[in-house]
Structure 1
Amino acid sequence: MTDTPASLGTRRAPYTDLRQWLAHLDATGRVAVMREGVPLQHTLAAIAKRLDGQKAACFPRPGGHAIPVVSGFMARRAWIAEAIGVPESGLLAHFRDAADHPLPCNEVPGHAAPCQQIVHRDVDVLKALPVPTHSEHDSGPYITAGLVIARNPVTGVQNVSINRIQVHDRQRMAILMLPRHLLAFYQAAEARGQALDVAVVIGVDPLTLLASQAIAPIDTDELEIAGALHGAPLDVVKCVTNEVRVPAQGEIVIEGRILPTERAAEGPFGEFPKYYSARESREVIQVDAITHRAAPLFHTIIPAEMEHLLLGSIPREATLLAHLQRSFSNVLDVHLAIGGVGRYHLHVKIRKTHEGQPKNVICAAFGAHYDIKQVIVVDDDVEVHEPLQVEWAVATRFQADRDLVVIAGAQGSVLDPSTTVGLDFSDGAPPAHLQGVSAKMGLDATRPVAYHEHVFTKVRVPGEDDIDLNAEIDPAGRVDFL
């Protein structure tokens, strides 16, 4: 893994404020400011996509709206490490340590919370906020970077997640909830005939944004993990219309309720696998209020691009590494390949000690997260973050009749369109219990523990890693080759 100059050396103070982080990116040539008035429908997303991983994008007065839109400020792995203040090679360990040692939040009064400087109780979401329409066949404008915060109706402990939200009209929005903690909270409330109070927070600092994606037990408040990443308790404030606590430094907060029994059409929407998910009946958020800073910023994530993929993959990597190392101390590193949309393809580096061990690691990885569809296990001389090295290991150390593991009919991602190929659902989308049924594939791309002479010794030239090319190249040197 290669560290950028900004991330080398001892740990620096993290960037715990969104505006401070954007100013830093701008000062280092990593923000592009667009002309005023870029259309919110497709054009904004198209520009941000073209800049993906190169520069963050800022759109003043998008579609004539007074609130600027920002995107792409977490679109490189090195930037995320830089924001946290650690070397890129220490990113997973630092995130895992924060997840293991959360800090309780610090509640502040409303007058001390920037996110409540302005309060609107009678709102029209699309007039109040510059919500873009992203992909070609998206069914409308979507909030894609909103932290959805809800309280467990039984225990009161909060959960934080990012969910896609389609804005339908003035005060109603449809939300996709996958079978995770937020859906469990909603189902518990709905069983009581109650709405689930929620807040959708748009525009938070990079560490809180990353913490929202932690894979944690159901009664773990991800805002406490954000505090651990900050190195101090996160300031939160109680919403003005419900009991949900939100980051006090947030830019915009939509307060509302997910209504019991009510559903509305949602989708199609271009999702992280780079395909559209189907139009289906989803739960409905009734908006009760919008609060925001005096001059807020609106953050949008371009679906299926680097900011989207990295925010999902890095917290998962940290969790997967910890899970595997509990059973296999010789697991050294993991990587969710971007070619596998940051979710489906896992590369695992091990220091192999026994034949057959990689197959055990493969099985353990499939059990660690149901999204994982393919696992490649490689030796400690292969860099799992470099796709060419992993492919080389498969090409030279893997034989399908000996080293392939296939598991049929397992639970996979409901957003993987290949899982429903060949099934006839002429009346619409498949029922929930049949969605995401997937085959899993594992590849043992490790060399034998013992082998003859140098058959599996990786070719290298002595000194290749240490040579100083600046000292060896003569900048004034010329040769007449004719």
Structure 2
Amino acid sequence: MLREIVEGFEETVVVEKPVSKELEITKYLLKYRDRPVLFKDVDGWEVVGNIWSKRERIARFLRTDNKGLLELLAYAIENPKDYRTSKSANFLKNREIPNLKELPIPKFYPRDGGRYFTSAMVIAKKDDFVNVSFHRMMVLDEERAAIRLVPRHLYSMWKDSVDHGEDLDVRIVVGNPVHLLLAGATSVAYGVSELKIASSISMKAFGKPVEVVDMGGIPVPVDSEFVFEAKITDELTDEGPFVDITGTYDIVRKQPVVVFEKMYHVDNPIFHVLLPGGYEHYMLMGLPKEPQIYASVKRVVPKVHGVRLTEGGCMWLHAVVSITKQHEGDGKNAILAAFAGHPSLKRVIVVDEDVNIYDDREVEWAVATRFQPDRDLVVITNARGSSLDPSGKDGLTAKWGIDATKPLSRKEEFEKVNI
């Protein structure tokens, strides 16, 4: 399916000549930041990056528009749907013992700790709960990698296994359609399966649920290009440095070792790489957070028209929210609610419904004409923020909100001229 998707985009750049997985892939992905790039020969493998590097491309694939994309994700998070179990999958045609050093796993930047899986999602099951989540993995040798586990759901599942003297059995998938990728990046309560969120997106967009095959009791999407059977062990090793979403290096930590045991792939597979700090990284990490902000703001302001995490803020630290004010003070309440909805958020601009939040010039115009710092600025000091922000310290940051909405008593003085 991935080949059909990539070759179906008119803007795809095809690189025919051999390309090295040592830093060279990065040069092309940076040159064509918002266009898919298909490499025909990376150590004999086909590789693709920047597939989902534009919001509009994602929306178009899911048969909607920018505003509809937010509503689609919000709906799917609130209304997970069952997936369907199939008896076969194309990736089951090819099975072999993996050699991670022979795969086209890139070293992206000079100071990287090694070659990194970046687009891989890990699927694990405990009792009846199936968790799907993104985890970077630094290749150590032919069969082992260091996996970054943030203390969330997969970490809890791994810790429980380790405490019982067991490795955690997982399936690692590479090369999936965007509804699976977006679902894998959502932050939902323990017990809510991201596979069911993906199935809900698929039902809305394509009229059919996600299909999976059972692999040793773990459901795996049939549309995966590569699938690895693996175990996360109790062994710890250094992981990093690694460039994260802000384009700066994350620190080195002790992280678990994952052992790769079997590899499956479709005929003529394409290996998906996710450029750290690239636009595709922004989209896949940021878009699933917008519904969280939307839901939080909607609890304090009934009419919320849109939420956008901005590319200039790495789609992680800066946001714009569009509302219709019903009372003075709604703008400031929306600011506080946005920070609550996405705790990593550092700056939020709240605008009226007549401002296109997807146009940076319109947003700046609203700030220029509807905002006064002495009355419309909200500053919160020593708040918990993003560990990815290099300007913060010990996880603390200052947050600021800009209320660029019109005063209700003088709305006509702030109207944009129109014909």
2:165 is matched by which residue type in structure 1? Answer: G
Residue 161 of structure 1 deviates from its aligned partner by: 1.5
1:84 is matched by which residue type in structure 2? Answer: L
1:35 is matched by which residue type in structure 2? Answer: E
State how far apart, in whole Å, the 2-side matches of 1:443 and 1:43 are.
Answer: 41
**In 2, are the aligned partners of 1:409 and 1:437 still within 8 Å (CA)?**
yes
Give the corresponding residue for 2:327.
Answer: 354
Query: What per-residue deviation string (whole Å, max 9, x for no partner) do you get for residues 365-389 of structure 1?
Result: 1111211111111122222221122
**3-state SS of 1:407 partner:** strand
Give the TM-score taking structure 2 as reference length.
0.94
2:366 is matched by which residue type in structure 1? Answer: A
> What does 1:189-338 align with in structure 2 at a 5 Å threshold?
189-231=161-203, 232-239=208-215, 242-260=216-234, 262-338=235-311
Is 1:147 the counterpart of 2:147? The answer is no
Query: What per-residue deviation string (whole Å, max 9, x for no partner) do you get for residues 67-119 of structure 1?
Result: 2101111111111011111133311112222223222122223xx21122112
Residue 295 of structure 1 deviates from its aligned partner by: 2.0
Give the corresponding residue for 2:2.
Answer: 18
Query: What per-residue deviation string (whole Å, max 9, x for no partner) do you get for residues 249-281 of structure 1?
Result: 211012211112x21111111111110111221
Give the corresponding residue for 2:414.
Answer: 456
Is 1:93 the counterpart of 2:68? The answer is no
Number of aligned positions between the proteins: 415
Give the corresponding residue for 1:447.
Answer: 406
**In 1, are the aligned partners of 2:236 and 2:256 still within 8 Å (CA)?**
yes
Among 126, 151, 155, the alignment partner of 2:101 is 126
Give the corresponding residue for 1:376.
Answer: 349
**In 2, are the aligned partners of 1:18 and 1:206 still within 8 Å (CA)?**
no
2:51 is matched by which residue type in structure 1? Answer: F
Worse overlay, 404-413 or 196-205: 404-413
State how far apart, in whole Å, the 2-side matches of 1:207 and 1:131 are.
Answer: 23
Q: 1:295 to 1:351 in 2, by over 3 A?
A: same
**3-state SS of 1:246 partner:** strand
Among 353, 360, 368, the alignment partner of 1:387 is 360
Give the corresponding residue for 2:143.
Answer: 171
State how far apart, in whole Å, the 2-side matches of 1:104 and 1:181 are.
Answer: 20
1:328 is matched by which residue type in structure 2? Answer: V
Among 364, 385, 391, the alignment partner of 2:337 is 364
Q: 1:461 to 1:379 in 2, by over 3 A?
A: closer
**In 1, are the aligned partners of 2:332 and 2:378 still within 8 Å (CA)?**
yes
Query: What per-residue deviation string (whole Å, max 9, x for no partner) do you get for residues 326-366 of structure 1?
Result: 33212221111111100111111111121222121111111
Residue 314 of structure 1 deviates from its aligned partner by: 1.7
Q: Identity of counterpart residues, as a percentage?
A: 34
Query: Which structure carries more strand by proportion?
Result: 2
Among 373, 377, 380, the alignment partner of 1:400 is 373
Residue 40 of structure 1 deviates from its aligned partner by: 0.7
**3-state SS of 1:419 partner:** coil
**In 2, are the aligned partners of 1:270 and 1:304 still within 8 Å (CA)?**
yes
2:403 is matched by which residue type in structure 1? Answer: D
Residue 50 of structure 1 deviates from its aligned partner by: 0.8
Is 1:415 the counterpart of 2:388? The answer is yes
2:304 is matched by which residue type in structure 1? Answer: V
Is 1:60 the counterpart of 2:40? The answer is yes
1:118 is matched by which residue type in structure 2? Answer: N
> What does 1:67-86 align with in structure 2 at a 5 Å threshold?
67-86=45-64
Give the corresponding residue for 1:428.
Answer: none
Give the corresponding residue for 1:46.
Answer: 27
State how far apart, in whole Å, the 1-side matches of 2:356 and 2:155 are.
Answer: 37
**3-state SS of 1:327 partner:** coil
1:204 is matched by which residue type in structure 2? Answer: N
Is 1:35 the counterpart of 2:16? The answer is yes
State how far apart, in whole Å, the 2-side matches of 1:115 and 1:323 are.
Answer: 40
**3-state SS of 2:80 partner:** coil
Worse overlay, 319-328 or 379-388: 319-328
**In 2, are the aligned partners of 1:83 and 1:207 still within 8 Å (CA)?**
no
Is 1:108 the counterpart of 2:86? The answer is yes
**In 1, are the aligned partners of 2:54 and 2:279 still within 8 Å (CA)?**
yes
Q: 1:191 to 1:405 in 2, by over 3 A?
A: farther
Give the corresponding residue for 2:397.
Answer: 438
**3-state SS of 1:49 partner:** helix
**3-state SS of 1:335 partner:** strand
Query: What per-residue deviation string (whole Å, max 9, x for no partner) do you get for residues 272-294 of structure 1?
Result: 11101112211211112111113
Query: What per-residue deviation string (whole Å, max 9, x for no partner) do you get for residues 179-208 of structure 1?
Result: 322222222323333222222101112222
State how far apart, in whole Å, the 2-side matches of 1:236 and 1:175 are.
Answer: 24
Give the corresponding residue for 1:470.
Answer: none
**3-state SS of 1:451 partner:** helix
1:108 is matched by which residue type in structure 2? Answer: S
1:135 is matched by which residue type in structure 2? Answer: Y
Residue 35 of structure 1 deviates from its aligned partner by: 2.4
1:214 is matched by which residue type in structure 2? Answer: T
Residue 160 of structure 1 deviates from its aligned partner by: 1.3
Give the TM-score taking structure 1 as reference length.
0.82
State how far apart, in whole Å, the 2-side matches of 1:391 and 1:249 are.
Answer: 42
Query: What per-residue deviation string (whole Å, max 9, x for no partner) do you get for residues 422-442 of structure 1?
Result: xxxxxxxxxxxx4x2222212
| Superposed CA RMSD | 1.7
State how far apart, in whole Å, the 2-side matches of 1:336 and 1:180 are.
Answer: 23
State how far apart, in whole Å, the 2-side matches of 1:203 and 1:370 are.
Answer: 30
